Amino acid sequence: MYLKKNIVLSLLLIMSINGCSKNEVIEPKEQIQKNEEKVSKEQFQEAEEIEKAPYDSTDLTQYDIIYNQRSVWEIKDSTIKSSYGELIEYEDYGNAITDLDGDGYLEIIVSGWAGTGHFSTNKIFECTEDNRLQEWNLDNFAYDYSEPDLLLQNEIDGLHSDSSIENIVIFRDKDEMSFLILKDKEFWGAEGGETCYFKVTINDNALSSQLLGYKQENVNDGLYFYDSSENLISKEEFDSLLKESYVGAKKSNLSLKWFYDVTAENIEDSYNQNKCQD
């Protein structure tokens, strides 16, 4: 009797152990499939994040980079150091957020003018992959100690009191090289002034200017047009000269919203107004 009781207890113990072991190891087939699908989905999402471009055009991180490193580009006391090392006190200036070269990294443009002739000076800084701001090379942007006007293309004034939206055109030639047609207007007081027109190439974080021609206006002598070699030409020849510089190129209209007060909100709003339409 004692032996039989021990055998029964042993059998019950074995069944109990086997039962627990079975419940712990084996999961329902449906649960295994769900777990596998969850892991697979998470891995796919991680891979998708890795494959994304360094920055989306709306990536807020770039706004943070520009704002947090504003000491690099923000104008203080209306003063800026030109590419020649000269300290210039702006009469008026503005800032704008854009992506001129279309590489997904945002740029902050600082542009202004000084003196009675409205001589322009510009600075451009671009976000980098390692969260820095890199200055563009504008050594070949200036012509005769003045740079093409980025701020004054539409004769904008009064930026200290209001934001202004300016429209420019980006061209792309058959080799996919991007360029702008910009002007540099020099005032001669009440007598008139001179306006130079440039083809400005955008390449490898640099701007390079090529003089196309210029016009001179004098209240006493009238209006005269010249080519890049200073030859006097007619208005029709001048207009044709400008058109030939972008014939066959694709065109995109770009809106720049200029702002004066440096705030995180103005930085983001400037880019949100930066609409590029083909």
CA dist 230 and 141 (Å) reads 20
Report residue 267 CA to chain centroid gap: 11
Residue 156: its H or E element: none
pLDDT score recorded for residue 92: 84
CA dist 243 and 13 (Å) reads 96
Pick out the chain residues at pLDDT < 50: 1-28, 32, 39, 44, 46-55, 57-58, 155-162
- Tell me the whole-structure pTM to 2 decimals: 0.73
SS3 160: coil
Tens of pLDDT, residue by residue over 113-139, are 887 777 888 999 999 999 999 999 999
CA dist 34 and 32 (Å) reads 5
Contact 232, 224 (CB under 8 A): yes
Tokens for 215?
């016009």
Tens of pLDDT, residue by residue over 28-39, are 455 545 555 554
Count of CB atoms situated within 10 Å of the CB of 191: 11
Place of tokens 């769900």: 34
Q: How many CA atoms lie within 13 A of 107 on its CB side?
A: 21
Contact 260, 94 (CB under 8 A): yes
Domain ranges of the chain: 60-277
